[in-house]
Amino acid sequence: MKMRPVIKNKNINRGAAILSLIFAVLFFIVFARFFYIQATGEVHGEALVERAEKMYSRTKTLEAYRGKILDRNGEAIAEDTSSYKLIAILDKKLKGEHVVNPEETAEKLAPLIGMKEEEVERILKKDAKQVEFGANGRDISQTLKQKIDDLKLQGITFIRDKKRFYPNGTFASHLIGYAQKDIDTGETIGMFGIEKSLEKYLQEKDGYLRYESDQKGWKLPNGKEEIVAPKNGDNVYLTIDQKIQTFLEDSMNEVAKQYKPEKVIAVVADPKTGQILAMGQRPSFDPNKRNINYYYNDVVSYPFEPGSTMKIFTLAAAIEEGVYNGNAFFSSGSYMASKRAPLIKDHNKSGWGSISFNEGVQRSSNVAFSIIGKELLGTDRLYEYFSKFGFDKKTGIDLPNEAKTVLNSNTEFDKVISAFGQATAVTPIQQIQAATAIANGGKMMKPYVIDKIVDIDKEKIVEQHKPEVAGQPISKKTSEKVLDILETVVSGEHGTGKPFQIEGYDVAGKTGTAQIADGPNGYLRGNDNHVFSFLGMAPKEDPQLIVYVGIQQPKLNGQAGSTPVSMIFNTVMKNSLQYLQIKPTEKDKKANKVETGETLPLLREKTLKEASEIVKEKNFNIVVLGDGDKIIDQFPEAKTSIIANEKVLIQTSEKVKMPDIIGWSKRDVMKLANLLELELESNGHGFVTKQTIKKGSVIKKGDKLVIQLKDQLPKEKEEDEKEEQEQQAEEN
């Protein structure tokens, strides 16, 4: 009877020992786990700190902007602007907010975003809470957004975004290039032109704000906060002048439309500095649409036989060496450089008999320049001067993909014909650089397009380009003599450059009619199969501008090749000289008084009546905006040089109604947008045919104005505009 308690006690003790052992093992495991977590900071491979940050930390992106590309006066050529991204909500839990009828939605939406109906329907039937529409759903404009909103499609909405915008459309496009968003990263990346070559300066980097929050996302009062400021891209200022570039674009459009050439290449430069003021070509493209199929900037990347414009530099070399006598005579018509070489002929085949070398320059005689190159200079010395003028190397302009040139010296015949622009292949930019020596007292200036690059965050100039002398191939005296002779090419009785005369200004220059190589077959035949060109400087007494125009294979229909070239050269040179307030030649000042640019007076704070009296004798086209009696603002600003019939906008009240801008040029619409602070988007080029803000609507600051442009002003609108101007003139 006394043994049972002993057995019982033993069982209890054994059980207690086992339990103690179990608890000890568990404690050890827990302690070991705690120690492991404490040491590594991880649970199941996940860092606890990171998990805590995810639960109690919020990050907000601080958006940065890609650097702007601006002209020399700070006018935007490329900039970031607001756009929208299209999305569809498919989450059925969001009742009343999700897409309920994919088929009907796809049918209405597809035509507006340029997608097939079945493709949109497939996207809308995805097993997802929210979907996007790829490239077709990005960069949605305000106009398109409004059209989609008007459909009132349930579940279709937008996220505010930004896009790269080119306010001038087709405008120095092969120079500027374009940037677009990467599909995977969403980053805007330069793909071509300056947008690509200066990517490291233009590229932006978003910043962020990181803060501690509660589970609902509310910021904790005393929580940690981390701010990394956004890095905006640097602004790039070009030497391009928006107004001169517009003169060039408009004139090229007209020639391209009328003569349908294979190519048009044109450059405007300041010979004193080497700055490029305008640069363009046709065919071209609108960087907003990226409708591009040719990726070369022909001004720097297209070497070709220049033809007779090369005679300028052969002439300069002969004068510099003292071997040129303009009054000496030679027999024109044909010339044999060597016994086995082909006969060199003048362009009229038979020549003009015995004429002076000065007349030979005027008539653009190949024979005259063959004699100068071979007999007077000698071809070796001629090639030395070609080297001095920079034709044997790249200019080093601050643009990508500058092409190498070819100075063919395989035979003596090649050297001789290079004196008048054959057997050599040079780029337009090389001709511009060489011409600066003629126009700038013998000093040859290196061409450049980038003026400065500015870090806008630090307000600091990162890079500054300045005028650089590339050499001095000739003396000032020689340059003056060359200009005198080249002026007779334009004004002289026998000059081939007569179509390039500009009233009020003496022009010095040289025409070119270059044959187009046809591989082993020699050269293309036919009147149209040439590159017609003109390299001109004005005013001759002290050239302020150099303009080169080259047109390849225009459809002339029996007209002279100089006709389309002069349409561009004369328009651009004359308007640019007037815009820059370059005084006309002394002898023609009086006759040219009406044609030259006027300086706009200060009209602000004056009454309409006072303004009318001020401009009564000036040929201005005033557009009144508002219904007040006193002028509160004007555009262009006072002291701006404007040309005849240019629109001057004056604002007379804060409340302004939208005018009828059908028939306006893009330049004039840009003035309106600038004055009234509108966001402008344009499509096409030429004159306005459609406007999104209706005539008579009250305009608000920041309103989006979209215009459609076409090459030709409708005849009835042109007549209405003329009648309106006459009526306004009578009222004033």
Burial 363-382 (b: 16+ CB within 10 A, else e): bbbbbbbbbbbbebbebeeb
CA dihedral in degrees (588, 593, 594, 599; nearest 10)?
A: 130
Reference 425, options 396, 409, 405, 402; nearest CA is 405
The set of catalytic residues is 308
* Distance between CA atoms of residues 11 and 14, nearest Å: 5
* Distance between CA atoms of residues 107 and 222, nearest Å: 53
Three-state DSSP at 711 gives: coil
Please compute, for residue 286, the number of CA atoms within 13 A of its CA located in the half-sphere on the CB side.
12
Q: Count Cβ atoms below 10 Å from residue 328 Cβ, excluding itself.
A: 12
- The amino acid occupying position 72 is R
Q: Is 130 exposed, middle or buried (0-12, 13-18, 19+ CB in 10 A)?
A: middle
* Distance between CA atoms of residues 439 and 269, nearest Å: 11
CA 609 to mean position of chain CA atoms: 41
> Looking up tokens 């690059």, which residue turns up?
453
CA pseudo-torsion sign 682, 684, 688, 690: negative
- Rounded to 5 degrees, what angle do the CA atoms 436, 578, 239 make? 50
For 559, residues 6+ apart whose C-beta sits below 8 A from its C-beta are: none
* Distance between CA atoms of residues 674 and 692, nearest Å: 17
Reference 87, options 122, 127, 133; nearest CA is 133
